[in-house]
Amino acid sequence: MTNEKPRPARLHHANIPAHDVRLVASFYSEVLGLTEVEMPLKEGVGPSAHDEPSAEARRALEQQLVAWFDPGNGQPGLHVVLPRVDFARENNMFINPITHGHIAWTVDDIEEVKRKLEERGVYYADCGNYLMSNVYQIYTTDPEGNVVEINQLLD
């Protein structure tokens, strides 16, 4: 057994809702110089995943719904997302992470975080590996009702 302290959570990304995703994306790229990147979505996930559009048509639709930005560390650390009120229902979640934005944290042991939430009687939506190809995700709220995403990177 080691006496090594677990690492604290690390900021994974910030999510900003925007009714005009492309306008807000232009602000972050043109004013702050952030680089827009493609998100590593799981196969069959994302807008129109069931309609099988061409890759070009799918990307055009995705750009109206979300923009991902690399803040300089090679990761999509800023998400600009069209707030969709049905997102939680469509994904069997009680918490809607995109209508008012959220902060996402990366942890080494998501099971330990879930245990701590359960000990405190705090609800969380366990989404598993539902969206990004290499991330296990849960959503909860802090005591003030702010949405918090907690991730563990998968091997």
pLDDT above 60: residue 60:
no
Q: Please tell me which of 9-13, 31-35, 134-138 the model is most confident about, judged by mean pLDDT.
A: 134-138
Q: What is the pLDDT of residues 104-128, one digit of tens each?
A: 888 999 999 999 999 999 999 999 9
Query: Which of 3 and 7 is assigned the larger pLDDT?
Result: 7
- Here the tokens at position 144 are 């003030």
Cα separation, 13 vs 104, whole angstroms: 5
Query: Which of 44 and 20 is assigned the larger pLDDT?
Result: 20
Cα separation, 109 vs 130, whole angstroms: 18
Half-sphere exposure of 103 (CA within 13 A, CB side): 8
Query: What is the per-residue pLDDT for 136?
Result: 95
**What mean pLDDT do residues 28-50 have?**
68
Query: Which of 58 and 86 is assigned the larger pLDDT?
Result: 86
**How many residues appear in the chain?**
155
Q: What share of the chain is helix, strand, coil (3-state, %, to 5)?
A: 25, 30, 50
